[in-house]
Structure 1
Amino acid sequence: MEQERGETGAQADWLTKAESIRLQDYYYDLPDERIAHYPLEIRDQSKLLVYQNGTINHQVFTDLPAQLPADTLLVFNDTRVIPARAYFQKETGAVIEILLLHPEMPTRVINDAMLVRNECVWECMIGNKKRWKSADTLKTTVLVNAEPVTLEVSYAEYEQNHVHLKWGGGLTFLEIVQALGEIPLPPYLNRDTEEGDKQSYQTVYANHDGAVAAPTAGLHFTENVFKELARRGISRSFLTLHVGAGTFLPIKVNSVTAHRMHSEQIVFSRELIEALRNAAGPVVPVGTTSMRSLESLYWFGVKLFRNETTEFRIEKLYPYPFEESELPTAVESLAAIAAFMDVNNYSYITGETEIFIFPGYRFRICKGLITNFHQPGSTLILLVAALVGDAWKQIYQEAFDKGYRFLSYGDSSLLWSAAQY
């Protein structure tokens, strides 16, 4: 029988606390010259700021393995960035830009959508839309395996920016995208994509195509770093969150809880679930996407544990109005997920999350975070503040004073939770 969430004073109080968050308290001055517009030549030579128990020390990223307890489980996001931005020129000369956001038909599962043949429908971000009328069909020719292929695009649903793409030759959509598109760099880099970005804006462990932005905390890892992690007995596991363009959306409302969080697709294997269940030490996600995924996984287990639903969808504020006594432990949540997978003979599960992590959130699985330095007033700054408290200001000021490079191609940090578990 489905359990209902009661209305208590403590539960009602969470919204008052959340609405007291002032966005201006999460801004800092970031001049353009401190943004890393290009990556370092050698990935693992970036700076590494380590924060723990109020203390900051400075390292090089190759020192990361020595900064982790030997029983740490690192969790990586193995999504691969696709060339999701394409340009089409009309006969009038107008150029229409299309940025793929999310598949709609014949499947919404991104991994499967990349293998669709002949036609599909995607939600897109459309540049110069006023010049592309609802009845117009755009065409272009691309070379795939040295053979010309014609791609036609038209609106499947004009108001929703759902675009119908059609091509021949029995090719997969991934083959078409790779021949047609370009890697969509973050807008704050304020430059065109260059040939080198095809390699540098991709983690060395990228495995599943579907992201429109890189999980940039992972850009610092190299085979040498992985070898040293293995030598020290530090475990690693992988999940997949296909990063969407919404990760760059600024908060534009006074009340942060009113911010519209983007929904992203996540995939977890049974191997990862077991790695988490058997973890002897701290679980440390590589990047905010991995952290949001792991915390969302816990809340899916909560829904199963409480018999609420078997649908894996975590709404942005779902975690907040609970009493602690209502919630299972992380161990119990993961056990509920494992049982659910066993009953259904699932080797992996796919879900959607729009979880919003801001100060006041209690982390259930993650004890630390490897991450870059984020935009002022962003949802990611709020996530960092949820983890380390007001120390985020000290951390960012120290990084600024020590000449760290900021944002996607910038330097790294290892942050440990301020909370006691």
Structure 2
Amino acid sequence: MKLSHFNFNLPQDLLAEYPAENRDESRLMVLNRKDQTIEHKQFKDLIDYFEPNDVMVVNNTKVFPARLYGNKEKTGARIEVFLLRELNSETRLWDVLVDPARKIRIGNKLYFGDDESLVAEVIDNTTSRGRTLRFLYDGSYDEFRQKLNDLGETPLPKYIKRDAEPEDEERYQTIYAKNEGAVAAPTAGLHFSKHLMKRLEIKGVDFAEITLHVGLGTFNPVEVEDLSKHKMDSEEAYVTANAANTINNGIANKRRICAVGTTVMRALESSVSSERTLNEFRGWTNKFIFPPYDFSIANCMITNFHTPKSTLLMMVSAFAGHDFIKEAYEEAVKEKYKFYSYGDAMLII
């Protein structure tokens, strides 16, 4: 399939600026692949589609406050620094994006905080906007990381035009987030409330936690018409032996295995055995899933509504069927579902 197959008209007012008032009261579109039917529900109705010993696989990555603002030495120009990944904890090297990039050259220093107690020196250019920074801070590593947390802001996606608000710190994070390392939330999981998860557990649904640290590369635009030529950025992923066992037991018992989000699906499909079961995994994945694709692990998926020509839409189309997803998205636009990170959800069974 080609890039142009994944284009559609998305009205700007359907891009969600804020989350639903209550996590599990976002809207839920249910797609039944066998019957080719579409239902309109609330997210908390999810429980009606699962039975005891079905397995729900969630991504427990935790978003860190990756967006900082500093001032350039001498000129005092305000510079946005987006932390991508830590390269070396001992020397405090970080891979970052800077904006405006044209003002930032090797050797420049940036000062953060009112007291300018945190300083960073630019030591390398990596891409047009990418830089390698060495942070200079008089304190232990734990104190340094706390300083980053204190100065950083919740990294809301760029399509959200407002500034981050205090409640975003909690809402742009799943309730089961624990392993810090993501610069964007695994947004399908944002709809789960503690109450809904408890109800699912009482019903007998099993949960398996994997980790995939979401990077900005997930949202990079596809710039080639031939999808086979697109390269995904690598993201760090972990599938523990315990998670693999829970999922493999579900497969053996022919239960529903539900991937909560595209990040979970990518991690699962990156660690498949020759017997089409799940292996323990620790490493990096740049797997790009687009139609046609034969999925090995999950037979059910929860996902948000994605933007035109995105790799996320391509994966969902591969799972549900391109024509069915096209029909569902036309329905979503007509019914004014909210799209993207703070938007509504879709269950594909």
Scaled by the length of structure 2, the TM-score of the pair is 0.92
Deviation at 1:141, TM superposition (A): 4.0
Which one of the candidate residues 316, 336, 348 is aligned to 1:384? 316
Deviation at 1:220, TM superposition (A): 0.6
Q: Does 1:296 align with 2:270?
A: yes
Q: Which runs of 5+ in 1 are unaligned?
A: 1-20, 106-115, 143-147, 302-327, 339-348, 417-421
Q: Which residue of 2 aligns with 1:145?
A: none
Distance 2:162 2:275 in 1: 46
Q: Runs (4+) of structure 1 moved beyond 6 Å? A: none
Q: Which residue of 1 aligns with 2:249?
A: 278
Q: Report the residue type matching 2:213 in the other structure.
A: H
Q: Which residue of 2 aligns with 1:374?
A: 306
Deviation at 1:190, TM superposition (A): 2.4
Q: Does 1:133 align with 2:65?
A: no
Identity fraction in percent: 38
Distance 2:239 2:121 in 1: 34
Deviation at 1:282, TM superposition (A): 2.0
Contact 1:217–1:370 at 8 Å: present in 2 too? Answer: yes
Distance 2:17 2:319 in 1: 27
Deviation at 1:292, TM superposition (A): 0.5
1:11-63 CA-partner distances (Å, limit 9, x unpaired): xxxxxxxxxx1211211111111111111111111111111120111111111
Q: Report the residue type matching 1:164 in the other structure.
A: R
Deviation at 1:157, TM superposition (A): 2.0
Q: Give the direction of change, closer, same or farther, for the CA distance of 1:136–1:42 in structure 2 (3 Å limit).
A: same
Deviation at 1:411, TM superposition (A): 0.7
Contact 1:183–1:193 at 8 Å: present in 2 too? Answer: yes
Q: How does 1:12-411 map to 2 (within 5 A)?
A: 21-52=1-32, 53=34, 54-90=36-72, 91-105=74-88, 116=89, 119-141=91-113, 150-159=117-126, 161-172=131-142, 173-279=144-250, 280=253, 281-298=255-272, 301=273, 328-331=274-277, 334=278, 337=279, 349-389=281-321, 390-411=323-344
1:167-194 CA-partner distances (Å, limit 9, x unpaired): 1221424312211111111112222212
1:377-412 CA-partner distances (Å, limit 9, x unpaired): 110111011001121011111222222111111111
Deviation at 1:289, TM superposition (A): 0.4
Deviation at 1:149, TM superposition (A): 7.8
Q: Report the residue type matching 1:125 in the other structure.
A: L
Q: Report the residue type matching 1:51 in the other structure.
A: L
Q: Report the residue type matching 2:49 in the other structure.
A: Q
Contact 1:264–1:353 at 8 Å: present in 2 too? Answer: yes
1:335-372 CA-partner distances (Å, limit 9, x unpaired): xx46xxxxxxxxxx521001000001100111111011
Distance 1:155 1:202 in 2: 30
Distance 2:76 2:116 in 1: 22
Q: Which runs of 5+ in 2 are unaligned?
A: none
Contact 1:186–1:248 at 8 Å: present in 2 too? Answer: no
Q: Report the residue type matching 2:192 in the other structure.
A: F
Q: Report the residue type matching 2:208 in the other structure.
A: S
Q: Give the direction of change, closer, same or farther, for the CA distance of 1:329–1:104 in structure 2 (3 Å limit).
A: same
Query: SS where residue 106 of structure 2 aligns?
Result: coil
Distance 1:276 1:22 in 2: 33
Q: Which has the larger radius of gyration?
A: 1
Q: Give the direction of change, closer, same or farther, for the CA distance of 1:170–1:46 in structure 2 (3 Å limit).
A: same
Scaled by the length of structure 1, the TM-score of the pair is 0.77
Q: Report the residue type matching 1:67 in the other structure.
A: Y
Contact 2:70–2:113 at 8 Å: present in 1 too? Answer: no
Q: Report the residue type matching 1:403 in the other structure.
A: K
Contact 1:82–1:177 at 8 Å: present in 2 too? Answer: no
